[in-house]
Amino acid sequence: MKTYKTEDIRNIALIGNAGAGKTTLAEAMLFEGGIINRRGEVTNKNTASDYTTIEQDYGNSIFPTLLYTEFNNKKINIIDTPGMKAFSGHITSSLNVVEMALCVLNAADGIGAGTESAMRVANKTNTPIVFIANGLDHENVNFDQMIDEAKNRYGSATTIVQYPVNAGTGFNQVVDVLKMKMYEWGADGGTPEILDIPASEKEKADELHNELVEKAAENDEALMELYFDKGTLTENEMRQGMKMGMTDHSLYPIFCTCAKKDMGVRRLIEFIINIVPAPNEVAPRKEINGKEAKVDETDQPSMFVFKTSIESHIGEVTYFKVMSGKITEGVDLINTNKSNKERISQLFAVAGKTRSKVTELAAGDLGATVKLKDTKVNHTLSSKEASYQFVPIEFPKPLITVAIKAVNESDDEKVGEVLHRLRDEDPSYTVNYSKELKQLIVEGQSEYHINVLKWYFDNEYKIQIEILSPRVPFRETITKAAQADYRHKKQSGGSGQFGEVHMVIEPFTEGMPDAIVFKIGEGKDLVVNLKKTEEHELPWGGKLVFCNCIVGGSIDARFHPAILKGIMEKMDEGPLTGSYARDIRVCIYDGKMHPVDSNEISFKLAGRHAFSEAFKKASPKILEPVCNLEVFTPSDRMGDVMSDLQGRRALIMGMGSEKGFEKISAKVPLKEMDRYSTSLSSLTGGRGYFTLELSDYEKVPSEVQDELLKAYAAEQAEE
């Protein structure tokens, strides 16, 4: 294929609810451009997009698929994105490399949860939107109702450019109020007959045309003056105003298609060519140092990776956007994230599973390469002279956490390798081994998102895994002062082991005064002489304060680090549930040594055991992580969501309205949030969403502590 200049390239993404017809629309666009000679169907599993085995098994898009079409000497790169909320990470990465999104609406079903989710991503990435009313031949189409719904959700920016004359099973006519013509298709779609608007539609078309003219004019003072002078605008002037309005999100034009029958698609492609900005007409992506690289073919070459995939017989395929200059076959670039060299041995223009070799790609174009050594999503490859490094894509925060383990322990290492490989393909997963929980933890967007991983283990890698609820990272602390002493003594021929430690512990809070008198029993005071204090920030939060209160040298200073080490070992595995301990002050005030047998190991063990005994006598409590929760729900599901939260021990902090949803702010224990994304989806018909952030640790209720202690005891007995 030919090499396209930057000004002749258009980059768009298809977003919207699953089942809206994005893949079918992409198929029609490729057919209109002559990239394919026959339109495939999702049900027949023969589309250019949705070509992976898992997508064909599920019957839905799982990954974003890069495609392209050619029309009127322009190249349109198309990214067909998944429609389910579970894959919002893929939508995010796609919208970061295009200049426009086509939000495809199922004209029979209206705006679904996937559409709402995709629109939130589009707003966050500041991507201009065109609405496509698709499937207008469905018997249950109600176009006017769909428009009302869109205007209720997205405001008056929603503006009709086309409307159907005969929506329903006989659909084949659309009035275009930008061109003020009617388009009529034969039974096979394709090229329409362009007709004058019939008298029966003239009044409605004129009214909508005037609305569109006003919307276009209000985006530019010069256009507004023209409109006031002439009372109208030419088609080119309207395009100019629409382009500006779409860029600042004050205009969401609505077009009509029946992608399955290839009706309205050619006119849509023409609109894309005329309205969608070329890559050099928008603000370039910033570098991490705040500077911008111009989208200029004559600049030094650079590219930004937005997707990778592992494909059979090929290996890893790397998808990128050319950010500056030209990327040519055989060029050597520097991975500025890793500081290593990569050679671009092959270049491809991509139409799904079909890849056409090209010798170069210009700034703004999207393409793929293979066999890079160590380049992943969010990496920049740049010439040594330019040394660009672009701001990474910010993927959505995880909403569900699970633990994954191999059924057969011999597969443990393989499971970790597979998870990291899948995480590279979809960075909205996070994968890490928790030393604290002793579990391999995976975070994702939903239960469906996690089930995709399970599919790969079952079908591609043939490894049996279990998906479990993760343990909760509890903390342990004390609520009163307590004293203990411990003598470690061991004799086994030759030099032995001896160390004795006396300590008192108490709860620590920031700003508390230094204690010299401790109440350690009924009517019994312990007076200490504080000589030195060390504060140790704990990696898991909170502090350990270690105080030297020894008078008279009963324990040499050289053994103090060993005592501290023994205490830290027990802080690392609290006596109640094996969780981390925190916020404790320890005062070592006495002890004994032996001139021969005392050594570091003796005092480490003595310190550890003394601390454990004191901890158990100090009214220990379990602390649980408590999160700040914000739930967004449709108003008619508010009561159900509130009832569910109350059953999760949530403390409601406030309520309000935001972006057409009811907003509930609450504090809720992390323990109660297991699989909450699934529950909220069920309660709200998929429309609800939430954010969750760790706030602090708080004491668990006594009945919950009793349950946790019993569960831990049973677990220990089982082991």
| φ, ψ for residue 236, nearest 5 deg | -65, -40
DSSP string, 681-713: HHHHTT--EEEEEEEEEEEPPHHHHHHHHHHHH
Full DSSP string of 520-549: EETTEEEE----EEEEEE-TTSSEEEEEE-
Please indicate, yes or no, whether residues 603 and 633 belong to a single structural domain of this protein: no
What confidence score (pLDDT) does residue 344 get? 96
Which residue in 283, 248, 254 sits closest to 271, CA to CA?
254
Q: What is the number of other CB atoms lying within 10 angstroms of the CB of residue 617?
A: 16
For residues 362 and 495, state if they share a domain: no
Q: Give yes or no: residues 138 and 63 share one domain.
A: yes
Residue 288 falls inside a structural domain: no
Of the candidates 350, 359, 298, the one whose C-alpha atom is nearest the C-alpha of residue 331 is 359
Question: pLDDT means per 10 residues in the chain (719 residues)?
Answer: 93 96 96 94 93 92 96 97 95 97 94 93 95 94 93 91 94 96 92 95 95 88 83 87 90 96 96 95 90 91 96 89 96 96 96 94 97 95 94 96 96 96 95 94 96 96 96 94 93 82 94 80 79 93 94 91 95 89 95 91 96 94 96 95 96 90 96 95 94 94 91 81
Alpha helices (H) along 426-575 = 447-459, 560-571
Task: Please tell me the predicted confidence (pLDDT) of residue 522.
Answer: 67
Both 523 and 581 in one domain: the answer is: yes
User: Looking at the structure, do residues 35 and 184 belong to the same domain, yes or no?
Assistant: yes
Residues 35 and 123 in one domain: yes
Q: Which one of 414, 438, 471 terminates a domain?
A: 471
To 5 degrees, how large is the angle CA 165–CA 168–CA 170? 80
Cα 118 to Cα 131: distance, rounded to the nearest angstrom: 12
Q: Which of 437, 453, 471 is the last residue of a domain?
A: 471
Q: How far apart are CA 172 and CA 189, in angstroms?
A: 8
Distance CA 60, CA 563 (A): 60
The candidate with the shortest Cα–Cα distance to 627, out of 697, 702, 539, 543, is: 697
The domain in which residue 315 lies consists of: 302-382
Is position 256 within any domain? yes
Nearest-angstrom CA–CA distance, 47 and 40: 5
Q: Which parts of 326-417 are beta strand (E)?
A: 326-328, 332-335, 340-343, 347-351, 354-358, 360-362, 366-370, 380-382, 400-406
List helix spans (H) across 280-433: 412-425
**Do 442 and 504 share a domain, yes or no?**
no
- Asked if residue 216 lies in contact with residue 242, where contact means CB atoms within 8 angstroms, the answer is yes
Please check whether residue 263 is in contact with residue 172, taking contact to mean a CB–CB distance below 8 angstroms: yes
Ordered strands of the 158-160 beta sheet: 65-71, 74-80, 9-15, 100-106, 129-134, 252-256, 158-160
Q: What's the whole-model pTM score?
A: 0.90
Do 312 and 378 share a domain, yes or no? yes
CA distance 30 to 33: 5
> Beta 302-311 vs 315-324: how paired, if at all?
antiparallel
Residues 6+ apart with CB under 8 A from 715: none
683 in a structural domain = yes
Number of domains in the chain: 5
In 10 A of CB 615, how many CB atoms?
Answer: 25
| Dihedral sign from CA coordinates of 145, 148, 152, 154 | positive
Q: Are residues 434 and 360 in the same domain?
A: no
Residues 598 and 642 in one domain: no
Nearest 10 degrees: CA dihedral of 444, 445, 451, 453? -40
At 327, which CATH number? 2.40.30.10
Cα 629-631-634 angle, rounded to 5 deg: 170
Neighbours of 516 (CB within 10 A): 12
Q: What whole-number distance in Å separates Cα of residue 162 and Cα of residue 546?
A: 74
275: in domain: yes
Within-domain flag for 231: no
CATH of the domain at 457: 3.30.70.870
Which of 471, 503, 530 marks a domain boundary? 471
Answer yes or no: is 715 within a domain: no
Neighbours of 296 (CB within 10 A): 16
CA 394 distance to own-chain centroid = 7
397: its two tokens? 């925060």
Kindly state the tokens that stand for 555. 């324990």
599 located within any domain: yes
| Residue-level pLDDT at 660 | 80
What is the maximum span of the chain, computed from C-alpha positions, in angstroms?
Answer: 113
**Same domain for 601 and 632?**
no
Q: Which helix or strand (DSSP H or E) is residue 442 part of?
A: strand 439-444
Together in a domain, 318 and 270? no
Report the pLDDT value the prediction gives residue 177, as an integer from 0 to 100. Answer: 95
Closest CA to 94 of 62, 68, 65, 54: 65
The Cα–Cα gap between 197 and 449 comes to 48
In a domain, 40, yes or no: yes
